[in-house]
Amino acid sequence: MNTKGLTLAAMLTGLLVVGVTGVVSAQDFNYIANPPHVQVSPETTIPDGMPYCRTGSGLRLICYGPSFLRAAYNFPADLDGTGQTILIVDAFGSPTIEADLARFDAVFGIPAPPSFTIFCPQGCPPFHSNPNSNELHGVPGWTLETSLDVEYAHAMAPGANIVLVVAPTSSGNAIHVAEAAAIEKYPGSIMSQSFGTGEFAINGNNAQIAQAHKNYLAAQAAGITVIASAGDSGAANSSMRGAEKLIFGTLANASFPASDPLVTAVGGTEGDPYSEPGTTTLSCPAATMCSAGLATFTGPCSSATGFLTTPCTPVGYGGEQVWNEPAFAPGSTTGGAPSLFFSVPSYQSGLNLSSRTTPDVSYNAAIHGGVLVANSTLAGVPAFFIVGGTSAGSPQWAAIVAMANQLAGQPLGFLNPTIYELARSPAYANDFHDINVGNNIMPGTAPGFNADTGWDPASGWGTPNVTNLVHDLVACATTAVCP
């Protein structure tokens, strides 16, 4: 377990007040979770339609299930997270999550998790009969977020125990209190946070930043790895949903809690090449290697309408670039920017940074190339959605850490120093896909960053080659000798 500590005094350099009056109080703020999504047409048969699905509006989009992601990112066949516990933190939860998880597992042929626990330290909140009436907290978005997080943490590490940690509201205080209880109850686990808020919108909340950081210090002491999504609104965090619909197009700022130096921040990618949404038709002859961007597959499979009679067979990795999908704006560009709060942590030294800068790593976040999620609450009936956003990366990175912990036979805990040390070693080319194409400048905004060789503020160190990465993470973290 890595015990290289970071003190709040060394990192919390003070809040930059940007005049966000009337958005949050000085005592509290609201985290945002509403992953970008499109509903799949009920006429589409899943998984036979993969990797192309038809939406309710008739648009054809690339859609991935767990087998495509496992093939693309080279997940090991001999590790599944057995004996590990993944904490999925969300507000409000979903009244249909247990049924939706069972349906998801049945469709994709995944065994049920060894245990699935709903943990509500402050009491499980009753779900509002009209969730759209609560715009401030974005309740509908949280229901889909819950489905995405639970289903994909489980799908990628099916042997791990899943604990859904539910806060009664999306306020910072409520979520921090729920996390504190979960950290105490589940030492040695992995905590996934697919939510955040732009640092510019945290006005006068030094106490809550300190409250969250205290949790992360406790997590570090308990051997818990903490992960968070880097945001879906570009380097400026310029589009926020619900009542916090603001445009701040000139200020680069990271998303919190991903910006906390004790958190592993996950940015987003999309396939490379990236086809225009709705224009792709599929024709992959027998025994031919074909590509949907992120993932490669073999035929025979063909369709001119977006429907397949048999699914294509996923076989491996295609290519990636920085996630930036103007066709789905706003909320369609990966976060990644300098922090307004935290100074440069030791593990980011030598990168010519002025403050803690996100992300640390990345993962597929495309909407045209999104993951298939089962949810019965959002549409009022059982349905599948194609879901994108950096929300998809946090729970899947949690699954990766679960497999590393399983291999190590112990929790690896705070991983950022190990990730950076490993990425600076000769193993980098084998453990990561270096993303060097694209940028995270959201359309209509000014700031952003280009991908480059090695670490950059648009993609971090890149995306994982999981089989290689988990073995090298274990070696580097437990022996202090990186390959």
| Amino acid type, 225 | T
pLDDT at 128: 52
Largest Cα–Cα distance of the chain, in whole Å? 62
Which residues contact residue 79 at a Cβ distance below 8 angstroms, ignoring those fewer than 6 apart? 403, 406, 407, 470
pLDDT for 131 equals 45
Return the DSSP state at 114.
Answer: S
CB atoms within 10 A of CB 206: 13
Has residue 15 got a pLDDT over 60? no
* pLDDT exceeds cutoff 60 at 84: yes
Q: Do the beta carbons of residue 225 and residue 401 sit within 8 Å?
A: yes
Query: Tokens 């709060």 identify what position?
Result: 341
Predicted confidence band of residue 16 (pLDDT cuts 50, 70, 90): very low
Strands (E), 136-263: 161-167, 190-193, 197-198, 225-229, 255-256
Task: Flag the least confident range among 18-32, 281-295, 371-385.
Answer: 18-32
d(CA 305, CA 60): 8
Q: Which of 4-18, 339-353, 377-391, 402-416 has the lowest mean pLDDT?
A: 4-18
> Mean per-residue pLDDT for 101-126?
95
User: Is the pLDDT reported for residue 138 higher than 80?
Assistant: no
63 or 45: whose pLDDT is higher?
63
Q: What's the confidence (pLDDT) of residue 203?
A: 65
**Which domains are present in the chain?**
31-479 (3.40.50.200)
Q: Are 323 and 270 in contact (CB under 8 A)?
A: yes
CA-wise closest residue to 219 among 75, 5, 76, 366: 5
Q: What is the residue-averaged pLDDT of the chain? A: 87
End-to-end CA distance of the chain: 18
Q: Is the pLDDT of residue 483 over 90?
A: no
- Give the per-residue pLDDT at 230: 98
Cα(465)–Cα(483) distance, rounded to whole angstroms? 15
pLDDT band of residue 182 (cuts 50, 70, 90) is very high
Beta bridge partner(s), residue 297: 290, 314
For range 422-440, the mean pLDDT: 97
Residue 133 pLDDT level (bands cut at 50, 70, 90): very low
- pLDDT, greater one: 50 or 345: 345
Q: Kindly report, residue by residue over 299-331, the tens digit of the pLDDT.
A: 888 765 555 666 788 999 999 999 999 999 888
DSSP category for residue 18: -
Q: What is the mean pLDDT of residues 328-343?
A: 92
pLDDT higher at 464 or 125: 464
Residue 341 carries which DSSP code?
A: S
Tell the burial category of 111 from Cβ atoms under 10 Å away from its Cβ (0-12, 13-18, 19+): exposed
